[in-house]
Structure 1
Amino acid sequence: MLIGYMRPYEDDLDCEKQLRKLSKMNCELLISEEHSSAKKRTKLSNLINNLNQGDKVVVTKLFGLADSTRHLVELLEAINAKGAFLQSLDEEIDTSKTSGYQFIDIVKHLVEFQSDVISEKTKRGLSEAKQKGIATGRPRKPDENVQRAIIMYQSKKYSLEEIKSETGISKSTLYRYLEH
């Protein structure tokens, strides 16, 4: 069964463009979300849950289906697990065609690549900051406040709340310094 899926997005708020393209595909069932929100996509969840082996979900573009590459991987895995397929018209992707590299594998590699790029940029930024003498991470508490908090704690005359309001040192920070 060919199942067309669409959801509103900025360039097609009424889904008219998507409907025209999907109608040309002779989809036996057309499903349209009422909203563009990434949350509460109940019709998409129902569609995935009710797929049968051999069904094909047709979308005009991948963005109409997924909100991120990770979300796309999750959906592809769920569709694949049902023995169903995905076709995206604008990207000319059809997972029912088995020639070449599997689309789901390509997307998984893209997610990994995206994660590696972010990680590398973060590490480079931290390294450059360190070379410039810029302290990274959470700012350390001034030593005099920590010492005062420890003295107050050890005197057993103050509650943790009183120590925090006097010194600005939280319970977890105080305990961390007491362990050393």
Structure 2
Amino acid sequence: MLIGYMRPNQEDPTCEEQLVQLKQLNCKKIISEDHSSAKNRTQLETILTNLKQDDKIVISKLFAIADSTRHLVEILEVIDSKGAYLQSYKEKIDTSLKAGYAFIDIVKHLLTFQSDLISENTKKGLYEAKQKGVTSGRPKKPDENVKRAIVMYQSKKYTLEEIKQETGISKSTLYRYLEN
């Protein structure tokens, strides 16, 4: 069965354009989300739960079904595990056609590539910042507050909460300095 799925977006807030496209593609059933939010996509969850072998989810474009590359991979894996398919009108993708490289494999490689790019750019940025003398991580607490917190703790006259209120030094930070 061809199952059309649509959700509102900035370009098509009432899903009218998507509805026209899905009807042109002869969808037997067309289901729409009430909102464009990435969270609480109940209609999509229902479709994925009830998918049967050889069903095909039809969308106007990939953004209608997924909010990230990782999310797309997760959805494609569910669809594939049920022996069903995905068709995207705009991108001219149809996973029921087995000609060439499987779309899910391409998306997985793109996800890995995207993760590698982010990782490499982060490492490069950290290295360049270090070369400029910028220190990364959480700033250290001022030494005078730490010393005062240690003195208060060792005097055994103050509770940990009182030390924290007075110096701004948390229990875990205080204990870390006491271990050194």
Give the CA deviation at 1:102: 1.1
Aligned-residue CA RMSD in angstroms?
Answer: 1.0
Residue of structure 2 equivalent to 1:127: 127
Give the CA deviation at 1:79: 0.6
Amino acid in structure 2 at the alignment position of 1:134: V
Residue of structure 2 equivalent to 1:20: 20
* Farther-moved stretch of structure 1 (25-34 vs 52-61): 25-34
Give the CA deviation at 1:139: 0.4
Residue 104 (str. 1) matches residue 111 (str. 2): no
Residue of structure 2 equivalent to 1:9: 9
Structure 1: tracts of 5 or more residues without a match: none
Amino acid in structure 2 at the alignment position of 1:30: I
1:3-60 superposed Cα distances (whole Å, 9 cap, x missing partner): 1111111101111111111111111111111111111111110000000000000001
State the SS of the aligned residue for 1:86: strand
Give the CA deviation at 1:123: 1.1
Residue of structure 2 equivalent to 1:175: 175
Question: After the TM superposition, which parts of structure 1 deviate over 4 Å for at least 4 consecutive aligned residues?
Answer: none
Residue of structure 2 equivalent to 1:75: 75
Structure 2: tracts of 5 or more residues without a match: none
Give the CA deviation at 1:144: 2.1
Residue 32 (str. 1) matches residue 32 (str. 2): yes
State the alpha-carbon separation in 2 of the partners of residues 67 and 163 from structure 1: 46
Give the CA deviation at 1:140: 0.5
1:126-176 superposed Cα distances (whole Å, 9 cap, x missing partner): 111111111111001122221221121111111111111222111110111
Give the CA deviation at 1:119: 1.3
Task: Name the TM-score, length of structure 2 as normaliser.
Answer: 0.96
State the alpha-carbon separation in 2 of the partners of residues 145 and 33 from structure 1: 54
Task: Name the TM-score, length of structure 1 as normaliser.
Answer: 0.96
State the SS of the aligned residue for 1:22: helix
State the SS of the aligned residue for 1:91: coil
Residue of structure 2 equivalent to 1:85: 85
Report sequence identity in percent: 69
- How many pairs are equivalent? 180
